[in-house]
Chains A and B, each alone.
Chain A
Amino acid sequence: MRGTAVSAAVLLAATTAAACGGRDDGDGGGTASGACEGQQTTGITDSTLKLGGIYPLSGPASAYGAIPKGIQAYFDYVNAEKGGIDGRKVEFTVRDDGYQPPKAVEEARRLVEQEQVFALFQTLGTPSTTATWDYTNQRKVPQIFVATGASKWGADDKHPWTIGWQPNYLSEGRVYAQYLKQEKPEAKVAVLFQNDDFGEDLLGGFKKAIEGSKIKIVQEKSYEVTDPSVEAQMRDLAGSGADVFLNITTPKFGSQALAADAKMTDWNPLHVLNNVAASVTVLKPVGFKNVQGVVSSTYYKDPNDPQWDDDAEMKLYKAKMKQYEPGADPAVPYHAYGWAVASSFHKAMEAAKCKTREGLRDSVHNLNNVEVPMLLPGVTMKTGPDDGFPIESMQMMEFKGERWSLVGEVIDTRKEFGPLGD
């Protein structure tokens, strides 16, 4: 094309000029004085606190894009009615990575270098978080409560600035193993799992936890997120003669597997559904009559569960969701998840001795049975020098009527299995 070099040059120069912020790595924030001498105070002042989150708002994983709405509602509420966190109003910037690691890197850099956030509050997904954590740790930017249950966030000592939040998939696998040891000590298990990091981690945790017991995995089948349906896999699993079915899927495939199980009337295993797909929004399309007796585990309160109707935390959550995010349905569990994780951040930030990046890093690694609104009673956040996993307790639940009902006690996997990481 005739001399488009010009237009390219002009475009480049224009973008350059627009983008020009100067090279000198200067973090606008500077450092603290006094007892916290020399620590980073980028993105935090006496009256404001800037956070950034990265979620898939577009693309195939966009169902998770509901989480930041719950977070936003919480921060709006705290800013308007509580004067912010310790008097600091929280600005929460959400960016979309479409579940693409290179996009996540770009957005992380944008948030840190251009938006000058104090911390990355949640990156979603194992691939996106893996792609960004070298960067955040080199820049010494806290990457707090990442929204993925991979076990590596807590088991790695090279990345002190990154920490998870939800029970990791390994722990969840342990919870199911523990439950089966009690209920069906000689269970023959058939497993359907998503062929990615999430599925493999959870299955791995389960396999490790049943070692030495009489529980056997008789067949495992995987599916790809691009598959139209998991019916074929379900038929193969039904032929295995298993009496327990472990369903490690994401929402749509969770619904399909539940429906397939219901359809095959000659195979009636105990159906164990993993937490990711345990939302009522997954079960309802299958028909409540078809999912009776399915068991799962959880760690936060389900907004659809009538037993919390009079619960003060739940009432506050529902009222404030309506008030600050009127377009978002409070019954969607992702919103409750967002609310709970935002409250967790609130607690951790309050507990920080120094209101600096270093202070936050130390605070999230020194949580001592911190109670958080919307988590189940008995589930608390606990971390320490050797324990980088905030939540490691879950409770089993069974589907009865139109809701989950909790069964048994909260299972603390730390107590039952010892620390992770070996």
Chain B
Amino acid sequence: MADFLQTVIGGLSAGAIYASLALALVLIYQFTGIVNFAQGELAMFATYVAWTFIDAGLSFWLALVLTLAISFIGGMLIERVIIRPVEGAPELTLVIVTVGLFIFINAAAGWIWSFLIKDFPNPFPDGALRAGGVSLGYSTLGVFAVVGGVMGLLYLLFRYTKVGLGMRAVATNPESARLVGIRVGRTLALGWGLAAMVGAVSGVLVAPLLFLEPNMMGGVLIYAFAAATLGGFDSPLGAVVGGLIVGVAETLAGSYVDAIGSDLKIGVPLAVILGVLLLRPQGLFGRAAVERA
């Protein structure tokens, strides 16, 4: 039993990692209505920026603050320079542009920082809580706390701020939003900036666990997609719950189902994405969208 519980806890901590990136995906979807394939790579790049500051001798927290600021500005710049020219283009175009961005950022990071792994300091203490033969690391607890905090902030942002309401209008229908006086361009840029910032938090959070190299977030991305799909692309709570469910499901399948095993557990996010989209496309916590011509 303790073994099983320990496995579940392991699944939850993997799930928290997926949730942290899924939050960034949800955020950008909320603001702009697109799925950003480059989100993970942006997070990876931001983590390298943080690493560079720390390597230059800055304290962890100062480096983090600087990185968040740079990510926010960087995200807005990307929206202005790269996304703006294709604003309003069909989804196909936007997906392809973010895929291009994915390839570009990944290669650029390798070019700048090489492909050798870097060590990234862990802001949380070593050691673990123990009870009844089950242990829970402090760094895992730290990840839970941060993910929960970010989720709460996003909820408040979406629900109670003017920006949040405006952004919902923009993502739903940019034309009408413009007509009622919402500044669409600024809202979109803000969305990219905030998403890049949340992504940077995710990257900094997982780098001590996964180790920093250019492909660090590549493996996380598909799980984060599964998490966001399961929870609903328009719900921060959904992203977190989805991430935890995907993490636990994947871990249990890998450990206890021999036919899946550790090699085929990558099939779990595929099954989740496919299953959710076919059975309940809006996800667990999402609102159903109406198809308009």
Contact = CB atoms under 8 A, between A and B. Distances in A.
Q: Do chains A and B touch in the complex (CB under 8 A)?
A: yes
B263 A236 contact: no
A9 to B, nearest CB: 28
Contacts of A228: 14, 17, 210, 216, 219-220, 223
Interface string A121-148: 0000000000000000000000000000
Interface string A48-73: 00000000001010110110000000
B3 A255 contact: no
B263 A195 contact: yes
B107 A58 contact: yes
Interface in B1-47: 3, 6-7, 10-11, 13-14, 17
A163 to B, nearest CB: 28
Given A195-B263, A223-B262, A285-B117, A232 B10 contact: yes
A259 B119 CA distance: 12
Interface string B112-125: 00111111100000
Nearest to A332: B116
A255 B266 contact: no
A263 B213 CA distance: 21
Contact of A62 (B7, B115, B254, B262): B115
Contact of B115 (A63, A223, A259, A263): A63
Contacts of A256: 209-211
Given A231-B14, A232-B255, A226 B119 contact: no
A224 interface: yes
Interface string A199-233: 00000000000000000000001111011110111
Contacts of B263: 195, 222-224
Contacts of A285: 117-120, 211
B128 interface: yes
Contacts of A284: 119
Contact of A227 (B128, B219, B261): B219
A375 to B, nearest CB: 23
A281 interface: yes
Contacts of A252: 117, 210-211, 213, 215
Interface string B211-237: 101011011100100000000000000
A322 interface: no
A282 interface: yes
B116 A263 contact: no
B251 A232 contact: yes
Interface residues of A, number: 35
Interface string B253-283: 0110000011101100000000000000000
A256 B216 CA distance: 12
Nearest to A58: B107
A69 to B, nearest CB: 11
B266 A235 contact: no
Interface string B86-119: 0000000000000000000001001000111111
B72 to A, nearest CB: 25
A238 to B, nearest CB: 9
B116 A232 contact: no
A293 interface: no
A251 B10 contact: no
B185 interface: no
B252 to A, nearest CB: 9
A60 B255 contact: no
A150 B145 CA distance: 46
B137 interface: yes
Nearest to B256: A236
Contact of B110 (A62, A255, A265): A62
Nearest to B224: A228
A266 B254 CA distance: 22
A34 interface: no
Given A228-B210, A232-B251, A65 B115 contact: yes
Contacts of A227: 219, 266
Interface in A251-272: 251-252, 255-256, 259, 263, 265-266
B120 A222 contact: no
Contacts of A281: 116-117
A3 interface: no
A207 to B, nearest CB: 18
Contacts of B10: 231-232, 235
Contacts of A259: 209, 211
A255 B117 CA distance: 9
B23 to A, nearest CB: 16
13 contacts: A62-B110, A63-B117, A224-B266, A227-B266, A228-B14, A228-B223, A229-B14, A232-B14, A251-B117, A255-B211, A259-B209, A259-B211, A285-B118
Given A222-B263, A285-B118, 8 more contacts: A223-B262, A224-B263, A226-B219, A228-B223, A232-B7, A232-B10, A281-B116, A285-B120
